[in-house]
Structure 1
Amino acid sequence: MVNQLLYGESFTVLEESGSWSMIRSNHDAYAGWMESAIVHSSPQESYIQDRILTSTCYLDRLNTLLSPGSFIDMKIPESLSCHFPNPELTISEALNLISKNFLNVPYLWGGRTVFGVDCSGLSQLFLRFCGLHIMRDASEQSDMGFTIPFEELKLGDLLFFHNDKYKIIHVAIVFAETQVIHASGKVHLANFDQTGIYIHSNSYTHNFAFAKRLLNTI
């Protein structure tokens, strides 16, 4: 599995081959194959959504538990009106939501739900809660925003980490002055410094490359 679509996310079918369809998600242009049997076409107006769920929600009629970040469609008769609160959270609110719903969730390559999530899926969801849609993979996310000196880090900044070939392979979210929240083994809080993420002072698990800011904190 390379990726997951959350409830209500739309996609475009690029090609079909046997019982499989090559699709591209409309929110981040990520492509992959899915079984054609679960592909359902909709008129364009039905997949334009304005509101996102920012907490785990149970839909009684569907008997379905939706993971944070899912979309829902609502049709309101012209004779009625309703008010929606601003769906965009502050950085602190989004960090609290991420920690409340995802701490100890197991790592799953390509995952984006409370049943399993990977590092870039977690950062993508965090920024969605703040109203920003970003790319899927850590390497793609590292090309976004602007670079921040280590001493100027703020909550919500993204930290990127490289392998021995200096390729970006991991991303974490600044959660506190010396802590990040990230998905590695499971979603957890970890200490970091300018060298990387560490368990003990001489035991580093991820090598720090640079930090990026994608959100306006002013």
Structure 2
Amino acid sequence: MSGRDRRLTPGNGRVALEGRGLAAERQVPGEAARVTAPVTALRAAPEGARDRQLISGEGVRVLERRGGWAFVQSEKDGYVGYLREESLGPAQTPTHRVAVPASHLYRDADLKSPDLAPLSFGALVTVTAEHESFLETPEGFIPRPHLRGLDRPFADPVAVARLHLGVPYLWGGNAIWGIDCSGLVQAALTACGAPCPGDSDMQMTLGVEAQGDPRPGDLWFWKGHVAMVAEPGLLIHAYAHIMAVGLEEADTALRRIEAAGDPLIARRRP
């Protein structure tokens, strides 16, 4: 598989997704599944480093189950890796996403009933019934104001990014409990119905070159980092300097990052 991007190559030598022309011992169609854990790490190898995270309800195609690990490809962006098999359940067709920074899954349609699991912004759920203040899913009940139908995407990625202000920085993070620069951009664009790759180098292919004055939603790239223009002269990004999602004056960010040896290399308009 030399020359292919490991992150997007659905094959590991033992198995490969059929129809992709990848050499492997077995060609498989893959099995549809979904993440049932609140969040799970997608790793480069079993017990290996975290590449990204998947959150509750996100769909995957399982190519192999082996030793408690599943080799999968994410439906959201095609990212490939290993996650713990226990974090998966049967596939469902989602109808809604969590549209507030965080929520809870409850046992009953009652705010005093036991909470069963935390839910991150962007978590996908399948609503089966509606109650006065809660929406029902096969796993439990979620407050009605916390959900938004997938047929009603957000219109403003900057507004979505702002929902994450103060979220702690986490390398490879994609959840409200920890997120990195590219995870923030992906969360913002995906919630607006726009496909978005998982890592910043992949995101440099989005849209067109941003020319002229900066506009809200423009993406600025450095080597290994991406920020979004929140408004003229102001960026929003998840960055290690403060270990959180924050707002930063654009000129300050440019000087600070360039002083560390990384000049701005691209501006894109998704």
Which TM bucket (shorter chain)?
Answer: 0.7 to 0.9
RMSD: 2.6
- 1:57 aligns to what? 103
- 1:172 and 2:227 aligned: yes
- Give the greater-gyration-radius structure (CA): 2
Matched-pair contact (CA < 8 Å) for 1:173–1:181: yes
What is the CA-CA distance between 1:122 and the residue it aligns to? 0.3
- Aligned AA (2:106): D
Partners of 1:139 and 1:85 in 2: CA distance: 27
Give TM-score scaled by structure 1 length.
0.78
- 1:191 aligns to what? 249
Partners of 1:85 and 1:116 in 2: CA distance: 24
User: Counting strand residues as a fraction of each chain, which structure ranks higher?
Assistant: 2
Task: Tell me the SS of whatever aligns to 2:190.
Answer: helix
- 1:138 aligns to what? 200
Aligned residues: 193
Taking a change above 3 Å as real, the CA distance of residues 205 and 131 of structure 1, as seen in their structure-2 partners, is farther
Partners of 1:206 and 1:7 in 2: CA distance: 35
Unpaired stretches in structure 2, ≥5 consecutive residues: 1-49, 108-114, 131-147
Partners of 1:26 and 1:177 in 2: CA distance: 34
Q: For residues 1-218 of structure 1, what are the structure 2 equivalents within 5 Å?
A: 1-42=50-91, 46=92, 48-55=93-100, 56-61=102-107, 63-76=116-129, 87-91=152-156, 94-99=157-162, 101-149=163-211, 151-162=212-223, 169-185=224-240, 186-193=244-251, 197-199=254-256, 203=259, 206-214=262-270
Deviates more, 1:119-128 or 1:205-214: 205-214
Moved over 4 A (4+): 83-86, 202-206
What is the CA-CA distance between 1:209 and the residue it aligns to? 1.0
Partners of 1:40 and 1:96 in 2: CA distance: 32
What is the CA-CA distance between 1:66 and the residue it aligns to? 1.2
Taking a change above 3 Å as real, the CA distance of residues 84 and 67 of structure 1, as seen in their structure-2 partners, is closer
What is the CA-CA distance between 1:174 and the residue it aligns to? 0.5
Task: Tell me the SS of whatever aligns to 2:229.
Answer: strand
Matched-pair contact (CA < 8 Å) for 2:74–2:80: yes
Higher RCO (C-alpha 8 Å, min separation 6)? 1
1:79-136 Cα deviation digits (max 9, x unpaired):
xxxx959532222xx423422x322222111111121101100000011222212110
- Aligned AA (1:183): A
Task: Tell me the SS of whatever aligns to 2:53.
Answer: coil
What is the CA-CA distance between 1:159 and the residue it aligns to? 1.0
What is the CA-CA distance between 1:184 and the residue it aligns to? 1.1
What is the CA-CA distance between 1:143 and the residue it aligns to? 1.1
Partners of 1:4 and 1:135 in 2: CA distance: 13
